[in-house]
């Protein structure tokens, strides 16, 4: 968390951006646990999708939004990472006026981890598809919360 977000303690929203779906996770107000919240199916209208995300962030009274940054395994920025940076900047422009921070966080392997966790939990492939994005968002947000605690 940024120093400001730490002092304001509150909910964090994790966002896993996909080309068809956006996985959303939320933390508790103490910032200790991240849980899957929902999946937003992209409408084809990016402005509408952003408005829906902003409405959700405001509804949940989040103090920070953590956008997953899908770096390549070697740490470089490919097309998906470039798109995530652009999306985070757009969200920052909409959320800053509400006092909400937007941060990027490395999400490498979160989708793989989410698939493995859901499979280990007995979820069938078809059911996994419906919740893997929000589970990946929770994995990423949990890692961000852990790194924030270590930094403070």
* Average pLDDT of the residues of the chain: 85
Q: Which top CATH class is 3-151? A: alpha beta
117 or 8, which is more confident?
117
Residue 144 CA to residue 6 CA, distance in Å, equals: 13
- Examine the pLDDT at 94 and tell me if it is beyond 80: yes
Confidence of residue 3 (pLDDT cuts 50, 70, 90): very low
- Examine the pLDDT at 120 and tell me if it is beyond 90: no
What local confidence, expressed as pLDDT, does residue 5 receive?
43
What local confidence, expressed as pLDDT, does residue 105 receive?
94
139 or 3, which is more confident?
139
Mean pLDDT of 10-39: 94
Longest dimension (CA), the chain: 43
- Examine the pLDDT at 110 and tell me if it is beyond 70: no
Domain ranges of the chain: 3-151
Mean pLDDT of 102-106: 95
- Examine the pLDDT at 65 and tell me if it is beyond 80: yes
Under DSSP, is residue 84 helix (H, G, I), strand (E, B) or coil? helix
DSSP character for 42?
P
Looking at the DSSP bridge assignments, the partners of residue 38 are: 24
Q: Which of 51-60, 66-75, 142-151 has the lowest mean pLDDT?
A: 142-151
Q: Which of 95-104, 126-135, 141-150 has the lowest mean pLDDT?
A: 126-135
Residue 93 CA to residue 90 CA, distance in Å, equals: 5
Angle at CA of residue 47, ends 94 and 27, nearest 5°:
55
């Amino acid at each position: 968390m940024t120093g400001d977000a730490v002092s304001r303690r509150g909910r964090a929203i994790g966002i896993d951006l996909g080309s068809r779906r956006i996985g959303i996770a939320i933390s508790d107000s103490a910032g200790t646990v991240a849980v899957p919240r929902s999946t937003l199916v992209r409408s084809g209208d990016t402005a509408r999708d952003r408005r829906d995300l902003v409405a959700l962030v405001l509804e949940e009274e989040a103090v920070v939004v953590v956008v997953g940054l899908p770096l390549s395994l070697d740490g470089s920025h490919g097309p998906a990472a470039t798109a995530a940076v652009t999306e985070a900047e757009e969200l920052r422009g909409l959320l800053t006026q509400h006092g909400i921070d937007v941060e990027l966080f490395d999400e490498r392997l979160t989708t793989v981890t989410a698939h493995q966790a859901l499979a280990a939990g007995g979820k069938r492939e078809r059911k996994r598809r419906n919740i893997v994005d929000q589970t990946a968002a929770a994995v990423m947000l949990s890692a961000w919360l852990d790194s924030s605690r270590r930094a403070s």
